[in-house]
Structure 1
């Protein structure tokens, strides 16, 4: 059984969006595979992203709260179809008034008409209403597959051709990837999921985005982190240096004088695009690099600096 998403993020079911965001950022930093070398960290990181992608989306969170771990198996318009079918049969078997049970499979709970609190099978229920002749058309199940993307592909978006293996062989799909998709986000392909029993409508296919590890960029939500190598004199004296962005552009960042390794410099709005809001930020993390080999003059200057400087980082 899958872990409860609220338990994964360590938040109560009443948590608001800000609480969920803060919990995600903390856990993502702790378990990111680039930072945490524990063999289980990558799976934990995926679990955290999966939980965040659902609980940060109001519509998905509402479905999850109602249906639990089976929420992805429930077609989005299932309740309307059931209600419509119940309305058509009200004269034959009493009032409508359906709601989902928490069990697995396509079952509903009939809340009026004398059935009480018993679970009722959809086919059995409508078969009795219509004498078997008007049995409800059960739609196909929703399906899910992974869509691997590089950081750059996720940043830019665009049209992708995706090939998936199925029971009838391989199928190709043309997918429009919106700019700024995040790890764990789902892209819906309407009607491309499981086939129905009878002549009902097909389910939907959901492609879950999986952003691949990158040698330079690290993502936390829409924020992008990149290591920025600087020389000792740039860090000590201050400088303006170039930094690459996931979009392929080069931005300029000002390194304040007296900076040390690990200092983060924020470039607002240079992170992943936000389709429905503000873009994320880019954080350049300073890493002071020294020349692998010193010239005679460089060594002379370094030795002179060592002789005159009272600075001792181990006592600071």
Structure 2
């Protein structure tokens, strides 16, 4: 995937105001419009300009785009940094779901039909937002008829990253969220707020926690919207998560794998004892039932055995390996060549 420098495409600095964005788009859209341009690449440039405008005209998309930084070059190979959208608070869905052939892979991965990025969360909440928007429309219609004006606030959404141990035990966490707004000078800025959040035991990656009344303020006495927090797990150097199941690699000595052994295995909620069966091979997957993320039923913990070879870094160690070579009539490649 290639990085798109939307500011460069529109000929703007990153400090451009929203009015600057609008003026630049109008100028370039006329220049490259397929019915007006004589340039051979006019249609492609027109689409590129339109894509840049789709992002930079929208305060939320622009703020999300700005968060990945300006150190990338247009056309450079790119992959979004892990959890680049963590703690980013946004309002309801604005896009429809599927990919648009006029938009680049970069746009689709960040904002479109992919399973990552801001829009994927927006799409998941689209049904809720549609019902809310319909209610707002009815409220406005009543106001225009002379009725008392009252409208519920918008629901907001954000992604938060928690530790895997929080899913095992539950936790109280203080989280900081940032929401894009336009300041008096027309620049997109981020406003911060901090919330104390209860992370329930058994929470899953991708699950949404609803904080009632923590979304946008209502109008005319209307109730505030809700805040939906999408849960993600912080990357762990040891554990891997798949739904409610957790797995990890555990090193064992050759004699433990060959003869069997009892070993101590770490889990996100403390250590447990596990039996390595006699004759285990490297890569064998052992299941500890119910030791995954708590639930009803709970997930499982899978232990993958990695056979760790002692180093032959002393004369005694080399002699021991030579004794093994002579003791075993063993060819590790006996069936390798077919």
Q: Give yes or no for TM over 0.5.
A: yes
Q: Which position in structure 2 is the counterpart of 1:208?
A: 230
1:157 aligns with one of 166, 170, 175: 170
Cα contact 2:109–2:117 (8 A) shared by 1: no
Question: CA distance change for structure 1 residues 72 and 148 in 2, over 3 Å: closer, same or farther?
Answer: farther
Corresponding residue SS for 1:106: helix
Q: Which position in structure 1 is the counterpart of 2:262?
A: 240
Q: Does 1:283 align with 2:296?
A: no
Bigger relative contact order, structure 1 or 2 (CA pairs below 8 A, ≥6 apart): 2
Deviations 1:71-93 (A, max 9, x none): 2425xxxxxxxxxxxxxxxxxxx
Question: CA distance change for structure 1 residues 314 and 194 in 2, over 3 Å: closer, same or farther?
Answer: farther
Q: d(CA) in 2 for partners of 1:265 and 1:236?
A: 15
Q: Does 1:218 align with 2:218?
A: no
Cα contact 2:140–2:151 (8 A) shared by 1: no
Between Structure 1 and Structure 2, how many residues are aligned? Answer: 222
Corresponding residue SS for 1:226: strand
Task: Give me the TM-score of the superposition, normalised by structure 2.
Answer: 0.57
Q: d(CA) in 2 for partners of 1:49 and 1:268?
A: 34
Task: Give me the TM-score of the superposition, normalised by structure 1.
Answer: 0.60
Structure 1: 5+ residue stretches without partners: 5-39, 55-63, 75-99, 109-119
Cα contact 1:143–1:203 (8 A) shared by 2: yes
Structure 2: 5+ residue stretches without partners: 1-94, 99-107, 182-189
Cα contact 1:238–1:258 (8 A) shared by 2: yes
Q: Which position in structure 2 is the counterpart of 1:304?
A: 323
Alignment of 1:25-174 (within 5 A): 47=115, 70-73=126-129, 106-107=133-134, 121-123=137-139, 125-127=141-143, 131-135=145-149, 137-166=150-179, 169-174=191-196
RMSD over aligned CA atoms reads 3.6
CA-CA distance at 1:233 after TM superposition: 1.2
Q: Does 1:258 align with 2:279?
A: yes
Question: CA distance change for structure 1 residues 314 and 246 in 2, over 3 Å: closer, same or farther?
Answer: farther
